[in-house]
Structure 1
């Protein structure tokens, strides 16, 4: 369906050049994407979904363990030819991963995207991969999915090179820098959220996505709104969605081709604007990366800045959109928590909150953490083994694509009471169920590659929800339950149509 939309848009662009309507064409394409879910998200009778889930394929060993090692083989199945279990993973998301966890345990493999992928689920298996004591797990797993679009972003770097780049980048995420970012985003968020008035039944996910893209372009890039900002935002969206394309070739109108075009557009923008950012040290992240240096004088090259900006923009707006959408959904389904959070927000007064004020929003902190548990914005972390290794007594050969699945840890019954229930108090002092295991709650990853922008992300989501609580009340029908599309990252298949009422 997404490829069909792309073809329609491409055809329109080809046929109406004389009318000078590329902006109108793109609006049509964007509107179609917002309102037409991908094929994996289309509604099917429950019996059809259940039968799909119940399909069984021959169980096989991934590879025989070395003779005399005492290790067990990794068991799993390939699924249908070529696509493997990719469609089930996209359609059923965490529910499908939980089912395989129950069938095969914490270490298993399955076919997907033409690959055999080992999945490590549960806190103990996750810890082995993310602590990575023997350096057997490389970030090269991400390269299969996103290297063409986010080449040499921080998440794709390994070992000593990753440490060196992270040390420099940390200078762009100090407390003082974060305070500056928060101050800049305040007016953008307030104007955006108050502008929702008059939309009685909006699709909240798309409103939030536009809002976080505005924050990313203004706060991270120092870029005003306008035609160019919309083009850059569209390029980011296309690059993100391309990573899980089933057809991984630049077929005209397809997601892979769109992602490659988006990457080229982003490279051009950052390269053209980088010299000016080098000359002046502004308050935006782009400037911060251009001027960041360690005590021993290490700095980013121009190519480093371009690569890291493209990656950080993706990481910043997508995860914040998903988290704020999930939190808004649970606040709509649990109005007592919405009112409790609103009382705290109103006590801050009318001025846009600074970083200290956002720290005081304790209820929102609990709600956001629980929302991150129930809807992990990055459900799977990709790795690739660089040598033979073992996890929990299972042999995994070198050059194996590995998926570490934080989303499963968030439902592990040994770590969480009644794990499918929305219960923010589980993060309150006195309970702190997230401390039941070091890797029970890892929405930001873990180990050396833990998300460098996690504090910025938490502040942004808090600031968004704070402005929503001040300006609106929102609700959902009691019988409504959101359904998430996992084609790339979790997105509500219907855009989350809430009832929005001004306060």
Structure 2
């Protein structure tokens, strides 16, 4: 795969502003290229090549700060299978559709979810994404009862009034920082739809605990130093555990339309149900997954619609055609322009830019030997810019998802914002419905713009967020 054309459109590392207090010389540190491990004699396999980066932290800061340019730079340097130093470890990186497919299809069950545990186990212990093989299959089968079409219809009915009221309160004077505005709204929606929580005091406390828990996973200092992100995350986890444990008996006792109640009542075809501990763990994880990814996706879509007003008007025309009634799931399915804009935004800004795994036995990917016990990072972001899959991949072009082109079908793993394989996001339809509702209400009520010449810069410290919150001017229609 040749990435030369792409790199001409991607800012070089030296042109990107660095976080305050970070010395560029440290980020440009070069260490010798080395093999991860020698392949078994006679296997015919190649070693995985890479470099450790700066001492101790490795390439962690580069990876979190530079995102897509860094991923493309590593891909062109080393190819689809390489390793790098980060967080005090050697991490194998699998990039491009073919390498990604090998890991996510996981035919020999060599790739375990253990990789996630290093980053988030202390904060999202035994969430669905951290479970493996048979246990994961069992939990997913039970949880699927909370994401049936009927349940999704109910969640959309619950979300609609809250989103319409929330969007309607946004100010049209001055410049909004849209990311923070959307984040508060998606948190409010999640606490209502997922937990049926009405108390503003409780909601604010729970929301803060989720934010702290999410940011803690990529802390460089991974000890509970007072005032640090790791300590804040541990405290947030305790707050969430106490809240869900206290509310759980009431949810068990009565049937409700919120997700918390759905998990308490969920029963598989064989009569299997979640334990109380299972429900607490799954609720903490699902709340995080729901509001963070929806916020990022809605922010990215709104940004691109601001930069491309012709697409904003095209999407608005479809939304207005639905009339004034709150849309149901079927109406949202008819918003084809919003759907294409959403998919293109997910391609350009994947909400989860790296998927963590760990090998439980020796395996190989594209002829490279990966030993047991290796930490592995799978990179959707590189796949989303692969030139053999996408036409002019750096350009915002929602029509690439239209029926005449369907570039996302060029490879099974060309487009994978929701992951893939057995661990593909179970809430993807919930998330896309929420973002469609958000965009629909924005389109009905406002026209919006960003400052002239503005280009968003994304910070990948935990999940991608605009470093300045995305300044946005809203004009009431």
| TM-score when normalising by structure 1 | 0.90
**Corresponding position: 1:402 with 2:376:** yes
Of 458, 465, 472 in structure 1, the residue corresponding to residue 439 of structure 2 is 465
> Matches of residues 463-502 of structure 1 in structure 2 within 5 Å?
463-502=437-476
Following TM superposition, by how much is the alpha carbon of 1:200 offset from its aligned partner in structure 2, in angstroms?
2.6
**How many residues are matched?**
461
For residues 428 and 378 of structure 2, the distance between their equivalents in structure 1, rounded to whole angstroms, comes to 19
Of 219, 233, 249 in structure 2, the residue corresponding to residue 259 of structure 1 is 233
**Corresponding position: 1:60 with 2:34:** yes
Following TM superposition, by how much is the alpha carbon of 1:191 offset from its aligned partner in structure 2, in angstroms?
1.1
For residues 127 and 223 of structure 1, the distance between their equivalents in structure 2, rounded to whole angstroms, comes to 40
For residues 225 and 214 of structure 1, the distance between their equivalents in structure 2, rounded to whole angstroms, comes to 11
**Corresponding position: 1:78 with 2:52:** yes
Query: Which residue does 2:61 correspond to in 1?
Result: 87
Following TM superposition, by how much is the alpha carbon of 1:303 offset from its aligned partner in structure 2, in angstroms?
0.3
Query: Which residue does 2:347 correspond to in 1?
Result: 373
For the 8 Å contact 1:426–1:433, the answer to whether it is kept is: yes
For the 8 Å contact 1:93–1:485, the answer to whether it is kept is: yes
Shift in CA distance, 307/65, structure 1 to aligned 2, threshold 3 Å: same
For residues 316 and 91 of structure 1, the distance between their equivalents in structure 2, rounded to whole angstroms, comes to 24
For residues 188 and 83 of structure 1, the distance between their equivalents in structure 2, rounded to whole angstroms, comes to 43
**Corresponding position: 1:207 with 2:181:** yes
For residues 42 and 159 of structure 1, the distance between their equivalents in structure 2, rounded to whole angstroms, comes to 43
Shifted more, 52-61 versus 483-492: the winner is 52-61
Query: Which residue does 2:257 correspond to in 1?
Result: 283
**Corresponding position: 1:153 with 2:153:** no
For residues 105 and 209 of structure 1, the distance between their equivalents in structure 2, rounded to whole angstroms, comes to 36
For residues 224 and 498 of structure 1, the distance between their equivalents in structure 2, rounded to whole angstroms, comes to 29
For the 8 Å contact 2:214–2:288, the answer to whether it is kept is: yes
Query: Which residue does 2:279 correspond to in 1?
Result: 305
CA offset digits 1:177-223 (Å, max 9, x no partner):
00000000011101111110344301000000001001110001111
Following TM superposition, by how much is the alpha carbon of 1:479 offset from its aligned partner in structure 2, in angstroms?
1.1
For residues 51 and 465 of structure 2, the distance between their equivalents in structure 1, rounded to whole angstroms, comes to 27
Query: Which residue does 1:124 correspond to in 2?
Result: 98
State the secondary structure of the residue aligned to 2:471. Answer: coil
Following TM superposition, by how much is the alpha carbon of 1:56 offset from its aligned partner in structure 2, in angstroms?
2.9
Following TM superposition, by how much is the alpha carbon of 1:52 offset from its aligned partner in structure 2, in angstroms?
7.0
> Matches of residues 284-433 of structure 1 in structure 2 within 5 Å?
284-433=258-407
**Corresponding position: 1:108 with 2:76:** no
> Matches of residues 189-268 of structure 1 in structure 2 within 5 Å?
189-268=163-242
State the secondary structure of the residue aligned to 2:198. Answer: coil
Shift in CA distance, 403/256, structure 1 to aligned 2, threshold 3 Å: same
Query: Which residue does 2:143 correspond to in 1?
Result: 169
Following TM superposition, by how much is the alpha carbon of 1:149 offset from its aligned partner in structure 2, in angstroms?
0.2
List 4+ stretches of structure 1 deviating above 2 A.
Answer: 39-44, 51-57, 197-200
Query: Which residue does 1:25 correspond to in 2?
Result: none
For residues 499 and 182 of structure 1, the distance between their equivalents in structure 2, rounded to whole angstroms, comes to 28
Shifted more, 442-451 versus 189-198: the winner is 189-198
Following TM superposition, by how much is the alpha carbon of 1:499 offset from its aligned partner in structure 2, in angstroms?
1.3
Following TM superposition, by how much is the alpha carbon of 1:225 offset from its aligned partner in structure 2, in angstroms?
4.3
| TM-score when normalising by structure 2 | 0.95
- Select the structure that is richer in helix: 1
For residues 324 and 398 of structure 2, the distance between their equivalents in structure 1, rounded to whole angstroms, comes to 26
Of 390, 400, 413 in structure 2, the residue corresponding to residue 439 of structure 1 is 413
For the 8 Å contact 1:131–1:447, the answer to whether it is kept is: yes
For residues 41 and 485 of structure 1, the distance between their equivalents in structure 2, rounded to whole angstroms, comes to 10
For the 8 Å contact 1:40–1:87, the answer to whether it is kept is: no
Shift in CA distance, 375/43, structure 1 to aligned 2, threshold 3 Å: farther
For the 8 Å contact 1:41–1:485, the answer to whether it is kept is: no
Following TM superposition, by how much is the alpha carbon of 1:269 offset from its aligned partner in structure 2, in angstroms?
0.4
For the 8 Å contact 1:40–1:487, the answer to whether it is kept is: no
For residues 52 and 415 of structure 1, the distance between their equivalents in structure 2, rounded to whole angstroms, comes to 35
Shift in CA distance, 298/40, structure 1 to aligned 2, threshold 3 Å: farther
Shifted more, 441-450 versus 192-201: the winner is 192-201
Shifted more, 194-203 versus 57-66: the winner is 194-203
Following TM superposition, by how much is the alpha carbon of 1:162 offset from its aligned partner in structure 2, in angstroms?
0.2
Query: Which residue does 2:424 correspond to in 1?
Result: 450
Following TM superposition, by how much is the alpha carbon of 1:408 offset from its aligned partner in structure 2, in angstroms?
0.6
Unaligned runs of at least 5 residues, structure 2: 1-16
For the 8 Å contact 1:214–1:225, the answer to whether it is kept is: no
CA RMSD in angstroms comes to 1.4
State the secondary structure of the residue aligned to 1:197. Answer: coil
